[in-house]
Amino acid sequence: MKAELEFLQNHSLTSVLRRELEALILSGEFAPGERLNENSLATRFSVSRGPIREVCRALAEKGLLELVPNRGVFMRRIGEDQAAELYDVRAGLFASAARFLATKVTAAQISALESLLDRMEEAVRMHSLDIYYPLNLEFHDSILRFAGNGRLHKAYSELVKELHLFRERALQQGGGLEVSNVEHRRIVKALRDGDEAAAMEAAFLHVLSGKARMTLPAGTGHSTGEATGARDIV
């Protein structure tokens, strides 16, 4: 019984540490290529190095960290070519989710998506990326959730997390928030119409539009409210 309790306690601790460290990574706490100090992290979370090491291994398997033998744990650095590959896969997954959802979307789900679009429109008028960005993430995640395929949702979410590591340049370019939300509305219209092909195409092209913006030279853009923060707004 004692061994079982210790296992549960350690497992719970590891789960909490994993969530906390992952949140720090995705928030930009560490720079690409930066070495993570296990001792500092252990002190920060008031734990021993063992759980920290275990969590780092788990996050390395998810593609967020990189383990270098005899050197330590480093933030994974994602280059433009790798980011482009992630976009291509993400486009396919998002398109599949939109197609699935078009076959069974409910009025309540359409209403929820349209409410998010209206709130994003207000953020556009305010030129506020800080307001727009979390709503954008919620919009995409809602489509994946509503599609009802857990494996697809999980795979898509992991790709989004990896793309958070791509911080080499601003991704909000070539049309910015306005273009992104116009594309969102095309997706929702196709879903409302129950048009599987149109929903799939609109979702696929939306993500590829984000990929195209990524390849523009830094600073390119012609939309008001464009920010220099490296955030993916597709």
Tens of pLDDT, residue by residue over 112-128, are 999 999 999 999 898 88
Same-domain check for residues 22 and 87: no
Number of Cα atoms under 13 Å in the Cβ half of residue 145: 10
Domain that holds residue 57: 2-75
CA distances (Å), origin 16, targets 10, 12, 23, 55: 10, 6, 11, 10
Residue 136 and residue 26 in one domain: no
Q: Please measure the distance between the N-terminal and C-terminal CA atoms of the chain and give it in whole angstroms.
A: 50
Residues 131 and 176 in one domain: yes
Residues 32 and 84 in one domain: no
Domain count for the chain, please give it: 2
For residue 160, the domain's CATH number is 1.20.120.530
Note whether residue 143 is domain-resident: yes
Condensed to tens digits (0 to 9), the pLDDT of residues 73-105 reads 999 888 888 888 999 999 999 999 999 999 999
Query: Residue 63 is part of a domain; what is its CATH number?
Result: 1.10.10.10
The residue among 40, 75, 110 that closes a domain is 75
Among candidate residues 22, 43, 75, the one where a domain is terminated? 75
232 domain residue, yes or no = no
Task: For 55-74, write each residue's pLDDT tens digit.
Answer: 999 989 888 899 998 899 99
Within 10 angstroms of residue 103's Cβ, the number of other Cβ atoms is 11
CA distance 92 to 123: 28
Q: pLDDT digits over 143-169, tens only?
A: 999 999 999 999 999 888 888 777 544
Q: Does 93 share its domain with 203?
A: yes
The answer, yes or no, to whether residue 193 has pLDDT greater than 90, is: yes
Last residue of one domain, picked from the residues 27, 57, 75? 75
Its pTM stands at 0.75
Q: Do 23 and 58 belong together in one domain?
A: yes
Q: Apex CA 92: angle with CA 88 and CA 96, to 5°? A: 165
Residues 6+ apart with CB under 8 A from 40: none
